[in-house]
Amino acid sequence: MFDLVYNSSPAVVYIVLPLLIMTARMIDVSLSTIRIVYLMKGEKAFAAGLGFFESLIWLIAISQIIQNVTNAPAYIGWAAGFALGNYIGLIIEERLAVGKLIIRVITAVEAQALIDKLKEKGYGVTHIDAQGTAGKVKLIFCVIRREQYEQVIELIQQFNPKAFYTVEDVRTAREGVFPQSQGFYQRMGLFPVFVRQPKKK
């Protein structure tokens, strides 16, 4: 991969090599970000696989830094790859939408319309009457897949824009009621050509 660095051309040493190091570092850090997310979700086997490739790519990149200690652009490429890797890793993690969330909604206004709409959309909803500082409130619990977060928040804001809500990660959840989820390609914004798309009527 890095055989070109031994070419005597300054363009290769000071442009191509730093770009290759930046690319390797970017991939390495992106994998690291995703690996940590899967570890937190308890996906040990998949996280271990990502860790293997992450370490391998890191070794390739650092070996080139060591062999070219006087190459200042290579250091810039290393730092730029680290920064880009964090950014890209987070974007990929958001698209993957791994895991589940619990949304707690506390509202002082009538919440039956919101509850009915959530049920209509296929979400599992638990609600109880509670007592707040200013009086009676309705407390709504809803465990959802991360990919469904935006849709649920839109419903909450639609029916009660002033509702107080909190969102937390759920490490494990057994059973539950969830609407049909999007596939991997839809979440990533991809649609392979070999998958037939439904015809528009």
Domain for residue 199, yes or no?
no
Among candidate residues 67, 59, 84, 82, the one with its CA nearest the CA of residue 17: 67
Number of domains observed in the structure of the chain? 2
pLDDT for residue 199: 45
Which amino acid is it at 12? Answer: V
Domain for residue 185, yes or no?
no
Instruction: Enter the pTM of the model.
Output: 0.63
Whether 42 and 108 map to the same domain: the answer is no
pLDDT for residue 9: 78
Q: Two tokens at 170?
A: 């759920």
**Structural domain for 59, as ranges:** 3-96
CATH assignment at residue 119: 3.30.70.120
CA distances from 112 to 129, 136, 179 (A): 12, 14, 19
Whether 75 and 88 map to the same domain: the answer is yes
Q: What is the mean pLDDT of residues 22-29?
A: 95
Q: Does 22 score more than 80 pLDDT?
A: yes
Whether 79 and 117 map to the same domain: the answer is no
Helix or strand (DSSP H, E) at 56: helix 44-67
Whether 90 and 12 map to the same domain: the answer is yes
